[in-house]
Amino acid sequence: MAMKPEDDRIRELYRQARDEAPPAHLDHAILETARKATARRARAVSPFSGRWQVPAALAAVLVVAVLLVPLLEHEPVDSELQVPAPVVLEEPRPAAAPPPERRIPDKTEEEAPPAAQGLMDKRMPEKLMAPEQAVRQERMLRLIAPLAKPKAVARSKKRAADSRAEKHTDPGGNAAVGNLMSGLRGDTVEPPQQWLETISALLEAGEEARAGEELQAFLVQYPDYRLPPALLELQQRTRH
């Protein structure tokens, strides 16, 4: 648009009139409104809200899973599966060995809550464990202690302590027979066939008294199990 010289003069005059501005309180109010609006938005747009909520949750689950899976893989699911094979007995235990004490649960253990009692009964004979396994079982016992009767827990702890002390004083295996017998008397119920083989081995080794005791304990556990002829004879002799 073509401008005349007079128009320039008009514009110049108008520029001299451009001195009005909003009052300061209006400036303050408007700027405050803007600051409040942005502050509200900053609160609303947190890292875990809006469109990031679902991805953040998924990422958190993934991280937890990645961290936990290796730990679970290293944690033994059932320590009984890791029991080392029993050593072959060279030296038989004397006949005066203590009688089986745990085949028939005592009154204290029977009174324990079923869940805790189950855990107590499933624990491994410490003498058959590697040291780290014994430590792990002891930790487990501490965990279930509030649920079990104090007497049973104390006995388990004592057995664990005895086991460690015996390993220090008799690492050569002089107590191997005792260990095996303790294992047999332990809380773990052996499969019947394996148990009978052990009794037969005792019988063949001349430990008839021990074999008889074990057979009686076996019959308490498996009263209807069909015995082999040799053990039937032992049963007859034991009765007499």
Partner 1 sequence: MQPGSAYALPGMGQDSSDEALMLRFRAGDADAFEVLYRRHKGPLYRYMRRQCGQDALVDELFQDVWTKLIQARERYRPTASFKTYLYHIARNRLVDHYRRQGAAPATQDAAETRLPARASDQPEQHAQTGQQVQQLLVLLEGLPAEQREAFLLREEAGLALADIASITGVGQETAKSRLRYALQRLREGLKEWL
Binding site for partner 1 (CB under 8 A): 1, 4, 6-7, 9-11, 13-18, 20-23, 26-27, 29-31, 33-35, 37-39, 41-42, 45
Residue 5 CB, nearest approach to partner 1 (Å): 8
Print burial letters for 216-234: b (CB count within 10 Å at least 16), e (below 16).
bbbeeeeeeeebeeebeeb
Residue 52 CB, nearest approach to partner 1 (Å): 15
Residue 14 CB, nearest approach to partner 1 (Å): 5
* Secondary structure in 3-state letters for 43-86: HHCCCCCHHHHHHHHHHHHHHHHHHHHHHHHHCCCCHHHHCCCC
Pick the closer one to partner 1 by CB: 51 or 74.
51
How many Cα atoms sit within 13 Å of 129 on the Cβ side?
22
Cβ proximity of 148 and 120 under 8 Å: yes
- Unique residue bearing structure tokens 């001349």: 206
Pick the closer one to partner 1 by CB: 38 or 169.
38
Residue 53 CB, nearest approach to partner 1 (Å): 19
Pick the closer one to partner 1 by CB: 12 or 90.
12
Pick the closer one to partner 1 by CB: 46 or 194.
46
